[in-house]
């Protein structure tokens, strides 16, 4: 029968074949209970002549082919915010859905013990600084003694050469100078030791204050809280996430693309993202990342496309659409197709003007037309109205 072709190999699965047989052989029975507006009518016996049927002749044309692959929408930046210190949560003011700015307080941890450590460290710093002051005074005193001893030694040296003082007096002056120099050197050494203790005490204080600051868990960037794990009174453990945070301003679609299309895509390629929530409003997107490894099991590679638009949410189902070169495409008007029994169907009008119900496998939408992959041959006449009066096997009169 002209206009009806066999299903291609892609439609010969067990489920598709069984459904096709049921649809094509029992179309009238399936549609018998369809009284909704826009659904084909029932085929009774005898069948009246259906007049005024509008048909279109299906033909192939050269079109830009497009490929669609399924993917998942994710925020470009997602963080598991975890504490860095252990302790009991004293407050947890955010909830799932809370919008926060960078640095906003997410949770606080009991800081009593850490505050005590910080206070002790600050006390050690003060004590070390006081020792430093004592060391400075000791150096000043030792330096004064050394200066006096050196002057005395210089004077006694001159007097000894003039034989005014005895050898013993000269040696006593020399010994005092040596002792004064040693005392000064020890004072300088003590000052260096005290400076080391001051540095160590300050380091411990800085560490304690850093721990104290970590008792406040803050947002690393502006975003939306998508998950809260715990409540006030729970125990916070370092490395265990308390909050899931994502940047709600930037999203991308991650999709697995068959390896046959690897040469068609590159970073910067312009593509489209189609969401099930808005299938008629594709969003412009740009490929930002192509993972250079093909999965040996699925023979696909992962691509990531940056996309923006209203209503985007992490986890949404989406499709990545991109051009795949020109090819011959068979398309029919959207008005010629209807859903019945979970399948797309159409009425093909035979040369002797009999309506035949066929199951159709559709492809990509093309404006007010839809690509047909199987079920209708080029040159076939397909009814576009009135579908609600047609049934499989009825005689029709085609409108001229």
Q: Which of these ranges, 59-68, 220-229, 341-350, has the smallest mean pLDDT?
A: 59-68
pLDDT digits (tens, 9 = 90+) for 165-199: 888 887 888 888 888 888 888 888 888 888 888 88
Instruction: Give, in words, the CATH class of 69-77+248-325.
Output: mainly beta
Over pLDDT 70: what percentage of the chain? 88
CA 303 from chain center: how many Å?
Answer: 13
Q: Which residues pair with 327 in a beta bridge?
A: 63
Q: Is the pLDDT of residue 71 over 70?
A: yes
CATH fold of 78-110+215-246 reads: OB fold (Dihydrolipoamide Acetyltransferase, E2P) (2.40.50)
With cut-offs at 50, 70 and 90, classify the pLDDT of residue 43: very low
Q: Which of these ranges, 28-32, 278-282, 324-328, 388-392, has the smallest mean pLDDT?
A: 28-32
Longest dimension (CA), the chain: 156
pLDDT at 39: 46
Q: Where are the domains of the chain?
A: 9-63+327-398, 69-77+248-325, 78-110+215-246, 112-213
pLDDT at 32: 35
DSSP 47-92: PPPEEEEEEEE--EEEEEEEEEEEEEEEES-EEEE--SS-EEEEE-
pLDDT at 230: 87
With cut-offs at 50, 70 and 90, classify the pLDDT of residue 228: very high
Q: Is the pLDDT of residue 298 over 70?
A: yes
For 251, residues 6+ apart whose C-beta sits below 8 A from its C-beta are 73, 74, 75, 76, 306, 307, 308, 312, 314
Q: Is the pLDDT of residue 206 over 70?
A: yes
Please give the mean pLDDT across all residues of the chain.
Answer: 82
pLDDT at 3: 37
With cut-offs at 50, 70 and 90, classify the pLDDT of residue 23: very low
Q: Which has the closest alpha carbon to 99: 221, 222, 218, 217?
A: 222
Q: Which of these ranges, 76-90, 123-137, 272-286, has the smallest mean pLDDT?
A: 123-137
Q: Mutual orientation of helices 112-161 and 167-213 as an angle, nearest 10°?
A: 160
Q: Is the pLDDT of residue 318 over 90?
A: yes
Q: Is the pLDDT of residue 15 over 50?
A: no
Q: Is the pLDDT of residue 2 over 60?
A: no
**The CATH classification of domain 9-63+327-398, taken from the options 1.10.630.10, 2.40.128.130, 2.40.420.20, 3.30.9.10:** 2.40.420.20
pLDDT at 253: 95
Q: Which residues pair with 80 in a beta bridge?
A: 244
With cut-offs at 50, 70 and 90, classify the pLDDT of residue 222: very high
With cut-offs at 50, 70 and 90, classify the pLDDT of residue 47: low
d(CA 355, CA 176): 129
d(CA 256, CA 103): 36
pLDDT at 27: 43
pLDDT at 9: 35
Quote the pTM value. 0.57
pLDDT digits (tens, 9 = 90+) for 268-286: 999 999 998 888 888 999 9
pLDDT at 46: 61
d(CA 269, CA 255): 14
Over pLDDT 90: what percentage of the chain? 32
Q: Which has the closest alpha carbon to 52: 375, 392, 388?
A: 388
> Do 69-77+248-325 and 78-110+215-246 show the same overall fold?
no
Q: Which of these ranges, 22-26, 247-251, 273-277, has the smallest mean pLDDT?
A: 22-26
With cut-offs at 50, 70 and 90, classify the pLDDT of residue 396: confident
d(CA 267, CA 74): 18
- Per the CB < 8 A criterion, the answer to whether 192 and 186 are in contact is no
């Amino acid at each position: 029968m002209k206009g009806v072709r066999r299903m291609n190999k892609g439609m010969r699965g067990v489920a598709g074949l069984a459904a096709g047989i049921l649809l094509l052989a029992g179309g009238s029975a399936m549609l018998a209970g369809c009284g909704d507006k826009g659904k084909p009518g029932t085929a009774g016996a005898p069948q009246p002549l259906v007049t005024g049927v509008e048909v279109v002749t299906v033909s192939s044309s050269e079109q830009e082919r497009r490929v669609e692959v399924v993917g998942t929408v994710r925020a470009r930046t997602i963080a598991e915010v975890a504490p860095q210190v252990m302790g009991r949560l004293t407050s947890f003011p955010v909830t799932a859905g809370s919008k926060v700015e960078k640095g906003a307080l997410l949770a606080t941890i009991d800081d009593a013990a850490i505050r005590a450590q910080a206070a002790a460290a600050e006390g050690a710093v003060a004590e070390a600084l006081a020792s430093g002051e004592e060391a400075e005074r000791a150096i000043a005193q030792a330096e004064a003694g050394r200066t006096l001893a050196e002057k005395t030694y210089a004077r006694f040296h001159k007097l000894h050469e003039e034989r005014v003082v005895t050898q013993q007096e000269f040696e006593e002056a020399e010994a005092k100078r040596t002792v004064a120099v040693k005392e000064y050197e020890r004072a300088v050494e003590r000052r260096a030791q005290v400076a080391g203790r001051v540095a160590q005490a300050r380091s411990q204080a800085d560490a304690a204050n850093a721990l104290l600051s970590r008792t406040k868990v803050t947002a690393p960037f502006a975003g939306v809280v998508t998950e809260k794990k715990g409540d006030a009174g729970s125990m916070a453990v370092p490395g265990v996430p308390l909050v899931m945070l994502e940047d709600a301003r930037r999203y991308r679609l991650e999709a697995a693309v068959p390896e046959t299309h690897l040469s068609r895509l590159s970073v910067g390629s312009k593509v489209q993202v189609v969401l099930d929530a808005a299938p008629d409003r594709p969003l412009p997107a740009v490929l930002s990342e192509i993972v250079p490894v093909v999965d040996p099991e699925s023979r696909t590679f992962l691509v990531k496309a940056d996309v923006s638009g209203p209503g985007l949410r992490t986890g949404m189902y989406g499709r990545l659409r991109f051009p795949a070169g020109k090819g011959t495409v068979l398309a029919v008007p959207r008005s010629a197709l209807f859903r019945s029994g979970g399948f797309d169907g159409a009425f093909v009008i035979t040369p002797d003007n009999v309506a035949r119900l066929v199951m159709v496998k559709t492809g990509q939408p093309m404006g007010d037309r839809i690509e047909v992959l199987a079920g209708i041959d080029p040159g076939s006449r397909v009814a576009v109205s009135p579908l609600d009066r047609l049934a499989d096997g009825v005689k029709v009169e085609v409108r001229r």
